[in-house]
């Protein structure tokens, strides 16, 4: 599941990846038909990996057969209203400098909780940032990172794998900011960002996580967006390492899966992920909110704040 988001809240031109949808400046290309391409054979039953996802990542190296930028038209990033433009060293080894937007705050003796929010689509813009306001109004420091190859930046798009390293690097950057409470780093993300939220929370422990409209099955995703296949599709492990449903017991923090009532249902995938995570004793719940893939985001942000408040 994904959205396709324009580089700014207004004035984006139409394309196969982006049509205007809603005041927040999001897009609804997730509802567009899939571009014709090769059909991937999806397993009848999603593989179950006994190895911890964090350990599996240390041994696995994705093989990119195409070196491409993030597959969405976008503009260079400026400074958003109510925030600062900062840079963080992208993962896993800090070799790429990437832009992030940070909410304005004043460090104080009393440490603040923080939210790392992973945007939808394959580019970011003012429309995404506008949705962050409820977090900082609720007292959270907010960091919205961009990822490799987005908005004209360095790096190659990898279809969720190396982008997970970027998300983890952004979390490290956030927790080391002055005045931020390292023990209260929360994670949320929408669409592609929801997918990354699940993968990231299987590597390190956040206080709690709220993936919104997340994909958990990469075969399903790349069957729909086959033009984004950039890795060796003959190797099933490439898909496994991008599918959180295969690593359910690796989930390391309480999680709430949110999705809109009008989204394409992938209930079986989500149910299997939840069963596997719960088998390891981890709390994971789900909730449907009224709305479409993109229209659900404001309500989901509000619901995530309610969920986070349960954990200090």
Residue 69 lies in a domain: yes
> Which residues form the domain of 80?
20-311
DSSP E strand boundaries for the chain = 20-21, 26-27, 83-90, 96-103, 112-118, 141-145, 180-190, 209-212, 255-260, 284-289
Structure tokens at 248: 């359910």
pLDDT at 68: 96
What's the pLDDT score for residue 38? 53
pTM across the whole model: 0.89
Residue 300 clears pLDDT 60, i.e. is over it: yes
- Nearby residues of 233 by Cβ (< 8 Å), 6 or more positions away: 38, 40, 222, 239
Model confidence at 312, in pLDDT bands (50, 70, 90)? confident
CB 102 within 8 Å of CB 83: yes
With respect to residue 30, please indicate whether it lies within any of the assigned structural domains. Answer: yes
Tens digits of residue pLDDT in 4-52: 433 333 333 323 333 223 334 443 333 333 344 457 899 999 999 999 9
215 assigned to some structural domain: yes
Mean pLDDT, all residues of the chain: 89
- Can you tell me the distance from the alpha carbon of 91 to that of 100, in angstroms, rounded to the nearest whole number? 14
Angle at which helix 161-175 crosses helix 192-200, to 10 degrees, equals: 70
- DSSP 8-state symbol, 64: B
User: Which stretches of 191-237 are assigned E, i.e. beta strand?
Assistant: 209-212
Q: What is the DSSP letter of 231?
A: B
pLDDT band at 186 (very low <50, low <70, confident <90, very high): very high
Task: Give a yes or no: residue 46 inside a domain.
Answer: yes
Residues of the chain above pLDDT 90, percent: 82
Instruction: Flag whether 243 is in a domain.
Output: yes
d(CA 142, CA 231): 32
Residue 31 domain-assigned (yes or no): yes
The CATH number given to whatever domain includes residue 281 is 3.40.50.1820
Give per-residue pLDDT as tens, 133-176.
Answer: 999 999 999 999 999 999 999 999 999 999 999 999 999 999 99
pLDDT band at 92 (very low <50, low <70, confident <90, very high): confident
Q: What is the pLDDT of residues 234-254, one digit of tens each?
A: 999 999 999 999 999 999 999
Domains held by the chain: number: 1
179 vs 108: CA distance, rounded Å? 6
**Degrees to nearest 5, angle at CA 26 with 295 and 103:** 100
Provide φ and ψ at 271, rounded to 5°: -60, -40
What are the start-end ranges of the H helices in 87-160? 126-130, 133-137
| 204 touches 185 (CB < 8 A) | no
> Looking at the domain assignment, is residue 82 inside a domain?
yes
């Amino acid at each position: 599941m994904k959205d396709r988001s324009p580089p700014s809240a207004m004035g984006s031109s139409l394309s196969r990846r982006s049509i205007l949808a809603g005041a927040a400046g999001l897009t609804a290309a997730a509802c567009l038909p899939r571009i014709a391409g090769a059909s991937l054979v999806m397993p009848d039953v999603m593989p179950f990996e006994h190895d911890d996802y964090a350990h599996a990542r240390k041994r696995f190296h994705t093989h990119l057969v195409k070196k491409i930028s993030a597959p969405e038209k976008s503009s260079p990033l400026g400074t958003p209203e109510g925030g600062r433009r900062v840079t963080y060293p992208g993962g896993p080894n800090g070799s790429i400098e990437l832009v992030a937007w940070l909410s304005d705050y004043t460090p104080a003796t009393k440490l603040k909780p923080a939210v790392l929010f992973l945007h939808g689509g394959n580019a970011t813009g003012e429309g995404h940032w506008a949705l962050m306001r409820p977090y900082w109004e609720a007292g959270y420091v907010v960091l919205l990172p961009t990822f490799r190859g987005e908005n004209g930046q360095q790096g190659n798009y990898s279809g969720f794998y190396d982008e997970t390293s970027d998300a983890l690097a952004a979390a490290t950057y956030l927790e080391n900011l002055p005045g931020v409470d390292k023990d209260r780093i929360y994670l949320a993300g929408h669409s592609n960002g929801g997918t990354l939220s699940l993968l990231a929370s299987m590597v390190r422990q956040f206080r709690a996580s709220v993936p919104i409209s997340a994909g958990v099955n990469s075969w399903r995703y790349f069957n729909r967006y086959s033009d984004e296949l950039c890795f060796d599709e003959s190797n099933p492990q490439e898909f496994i390492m991008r599918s959180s449903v295969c690593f359910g017991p690796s989930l390391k923090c309480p999680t709430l899966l949110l999705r809109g009532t009008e989204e394409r249902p992938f209930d079986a995938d989500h149910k299997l992920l939840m069963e596997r995570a719960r088998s390891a004793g981890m709390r994971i719940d789900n909730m449907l909110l009224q709305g479409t893939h993109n229209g659900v985001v404001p309500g989901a942000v509000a619901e995530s704040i309610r969920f986070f408040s349960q954990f200090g």
